[in-house]
A and B are shown apart, each in its own frame.
Chain A
Amino acid sequence: MMIMSTSQPTETEKKEGPLAFSYECYKDMLDNNIIFAYRGIVTSDLVTNVLEIMEERLEEEGQSKKISKKVFNVMVECLTNVYVDEDKLFKEGYDPSALLLVAKGSNSYKVTTGNYIPTKGVNSLKLMIDRINSMDKEELKTYYQEILCMEEPDMNGLTNLAIIDLARKSKNKLTYTFKYENNKYTFFTLESQISKSGV
């Protein structure tokens, strides 16, 4: 692919909208090894479609079934637990959609989700992830079983069980960021890393 560049912007380059940032976006995705990106409302239909695309993608790349399955399992958990209170967010003027990124590094795959969460829940969520990150494999197993028996079944929301599950499946520490917007909402990103070695 050849990119033309001149010192004077052409009429096309002066335009606003996707045409103006598409190359930058493409370059950013390339530099960060993003192999899949989505922004929108997360539904279980979407989860199914994403799985199909990723199955094909990882098969093309010759990724082992064991690692592919792990990436899918982490993606399913990430997507089905993204907190989306669409109606409430929309009414309050916030974007109700979530972000999903899958990056392929030289040694691992990274699955990242981003979405608005209520700011009042940030501290407890942070403490929970830090606590889970401090646990080893056996501690996580015991804790998972304990919480599995304790928590009442619910519909959605990033539950403690889901965070433990992500840590167990990915076998790596979870990383996160909280981008404070105001007292109501904070943008939360959570990243799970799956080593290609399977360890």
Chain B
Amino acid sequence: MLEALKIEPTHKTPKVYLDPKENHFEVSGRSIPEDSVGFYKRILDWIDEYANQPNPETEFKFELEYFNTSSSKNILELLKKLEKIHLEGKGKIHITWYYDEDDEDMEETGEDYKALLNVPLDLIMKVY
């Protein structure tokens, strides 16, 4: 089984926790790196590896606080790779996009991704 990819969060990059053994897949926190292409490359490469032998069911959670448009393009790349796994029948993918009740921009972004992708994606509002 593919080794987990775990990246600790910083004040400008998200927590990344991708562990097939625990069936835990999460990207959360802030995503405003200076070099978003460089930051996401490692994650996208890992997903390419994972696509070779994915779990039968993958629950992928996004819970972002802030992110810039440069990150949004990389996140779309990531989501497209997950969509491919799903559409090719290699494994079932389910994505959950969490957003804060006060953050209509994050909700709107989730709606954009949902409209662009052909993979189950649920938007969940976090209420405090």
Which A residues lie at the B interface, using CB under 8 A? 43-45, 47-48, 51, 64-66, 68-70, 72-73, 76-77, 80-81, 141, 144-145, 148-149, 151-156, 159, 161-162, 165, 168-169
CB distance from B25 to the nearest CB of A (A): 21
Contact B70 A148 (CB under 8 A): no
CB distance from A105 to the nearest CB of B (A): 21
CB distance from A53 to the nearest CB of B (A): 14
Give 10 closest A-B pairs by Cβ, nearest first: A65-B102, A80-B68, A153-B73, A44-B12, A48-B11, A66-B102, A162-B69, A161-B69, A73-B105, A44-B34
> Which residues of B are found within 8 Å of A64, using beta-carbon distances?
102
Q: Which residue of B lies closest to A73 (CB)?
A: B105
Chain B contact residues, majority secondary structure? helix
Q: Complex: how many Å from CA A4 to CA B60? A: 64
A-B contact count (CB 8 A): 86
Contact A76 B68 (CB under 8 A): yes
> Which residues of B are found within 8 Å of A153, using beta-carbon distances?
36-37, 40, 70, 73-74, 77
Identify which of A43, A76, A144, A152 contacts B66 (C-beta below 8 A).
A76
Q: Which residue of B lies closest to A159 (CB)?
A: B69
Contact B37 A155 (CB under 8 A): yes
> Which residues of A are found within 8 Å of B127, using beta-carbon distances?
none
Contact B35 A155 (CB under 8 A): yes
> Which residues of A are found within 8 Å of B70, using beta-carbon distances?
80-81, 153-156, 159
Contact A47 B103 (CB under 8 A): no
Contact B35 A148 (CB under 8 A): no
B115 at interface (Cβ–Cβ under 8 A)? yes
Contact B69 A69 (CB under 8 A): no
